[in-house]
A and B are shown apart, each in its own frame.
Chain A
Amino acid sequence: MGTKDVPPSIDTIPSSFVQFAIADKVIALGRANSLWPLTFGIACCAIEMMCTGAARFDLSRFGAEVFRPSPRQSDLMIVAGTISNKMAPGIKTLYDQMPEPKWVIALGNCAISGGPFVFEGQYGIVEGADKFLPVDVYVPGCPPRPEALIEGIIELEHKITGWRRWPKVKPEWRESGSDES
Chain B
Amino acid sequence: MTEPISLQPDETFVLNVGPQHPATHGVLRVKMTMDGEYIYNAETVLGYIHRMHEKMAENRTYPQFMPNMGRLDYLSAMAFNHGYALVVERACGIEVPERAEYIRVITVELNRISSHLVWLGAYVLDLGGFTPLMYCFDDREQILDLLESVTGSRLTYCYFRFGGLYNDIDDDFISGTRAFIKRMRKELKMYAKLVTGNIILMRRLKDHGPVDQDMCQRYGATGPVARGSGINYDVRRNEPYSVYPEFDFEVPVYGECDSYARYLVRMDEMEQSLRIIEQALDKLPDGPVNPKKKPKLIKPPPGDYFAAVETARGNFGIRMVSDGSKNAYRLKLRSPTYSNMHLFDEACRGMLIADALAFMGSLDLVIPEMDR
Direct contact between A and B judged by beta carbons closer than 8 A: yes
A residues lining the B interface (CB < 8 Å): 39-44, 46-48, 50-51, 54-56, 69, 71, 81-82, 84, 86-87, 90, 94, 116-117, 119-125, 142-143, 145
* A142 vs B27: C-alpha distance when bound (angstroms): 19
Contact A84 B51 (CB under 8 A): yes
Closest residue of chain B to A51 (Cβ to Cβ) is: B137
Chain A residues lying within 8 Å of B19, measured Cβ to Cβ, are 87, 90
Which among A51, A69, A145 has the highest number of chain B CB atoms within 10 Å?
A51
Report B8-43 CB contacts with A as 1/0, cut-off 8 Å: 000000000001111001110000000000000000
**Contact of A86 (CB < 8 Å), options: B48, B74, B133, B140:** B48
Chain B residues lying within 8 Å of A145, measured Cβ to Cβ, are 154
Q: Does B50 contact A (CB under 8 A)?
A: yes
Contact A117 B137 (CB under 8 A): no
**Contact of A55 (CB < 8 Å), options: B20, B138, B367:** B138
Q: Does B368 contact A (CB under 8 A)?
A: yes
Contact A123 B55 (CB under 8 A): yes
Q: Distance in Å from the Cβ of A53 to the closest Cβ of chain B?
A: 9
Q: Does B59 contact A (CB under 8 A)?
A: yes
Chain B residues lying within 8 Å of A50, measured Cβ to Cβ, are 118, 122, 137
Report B106-148 CB contacts with A as 1/0, cut-off 8 Å: 0000000000001001100000000001110110110000000
Q: Does B291 contact A (CB under 8 A)?
A: no
* A160 vs B75: C-alpha distance when bound (angstroms): 34
B residues lining the A interface (CB < 8 Å): 19-22, 25-27, 47-52, 55-56, 59-60, 67-68, 71, 74-75, 118, 121-122, 133-135, 137-138, 140-141, 154-156, 367-368
* A124 vs B48: C-alpha distance when bound (angstroms): 10
Contact A43 B368 (CB under 8 A): yes
Chain A residues lying within 8 Å of B21, measured Cβ to Cβ, are 69
Contact A47 B155 (CB under 8 A): yes
**Contact of A44 (CB < 8 Å), options: B74, B133, B135:** B74
* A94 vs B20: C-alpha distance when bound (angstroms): 9
Chain B residues lying within 8 Å of A125, measured Cβ to Cβ, are 51-52
* A123 vs B60: C-alpha distance when bound (angstroms): 16
Contact A124 B51 (CB under 8 A): yes
Instruction: Name 11 extra pairs, CB < 8 A, besides A43-B51, A44-B74, A50-B137.
Output: A39-B22, A40-B20, A43-B71, A51-B140, A54-B138, A56-B138, A81-B368, A87-B48, A116-B67, A120-B59, A122-B52
**Contact of B154 (CB < 8 Å), options: A48, A69, A84, A123:** A48
Q: Given the known A-B contacts A42-B27, A116-B67, are A84 and B156 also in contact in the complex, defined by CB atoms under 8 Å?
A: no
Main secondary structure of the interface of A (DSSP, over half): loop
Contact A87 B27 (CB under 8 A): yes
Closest residue of chain A to B118 (Cβ to Cβ) is: A47
**Contact of B26 (CB < 8 Å), options: A43, A48, A69, A124:** A43
16 A-B pairs with C-beta separation under 8 A: A43-B71, A43-B74, A46-B26, A56-B138, A82-B368, A84-B51, A86-B47, A90-B19, A90-B48, A117-B51, A117-B56, A123-B52, A125-B52, A143-B155, A143-B156, A145-B154
Contact B133 A81 (CB under 8 A): no
Q: Given the known A-B contacts A55-B138, A123-B52, are A142 and B22 also in contact in the complex, defined by CB atoms under 8 Å?
A: no
* A143 vs B137: C-alpha distance when bound (angstroms): 17
Chain B residues lying within 8 Å of A40, measured Cβ to Cβ, are 20
Contact B49 A84 (CB under 8 A): yes
**Contact of A121 (CB < 8 Å), options: B47, B59, B138:** B59
Q: Distance in Å from the Cβ of B65 to the closest Cβ of chain A?
A: 11
Contact B137 A84 (CB under 8 A): no
Q: Distance in Å from the Cβ of A12 to the closest Cβ of chain B?
A: 28
Chain A residues lying within 8 Å of B48, measured Cβ to Cβ, are 84, 86-87, 90
Contact A54 B134 (CB under 8 A): yes
Contact A116 B50 (CB under 8 A): no
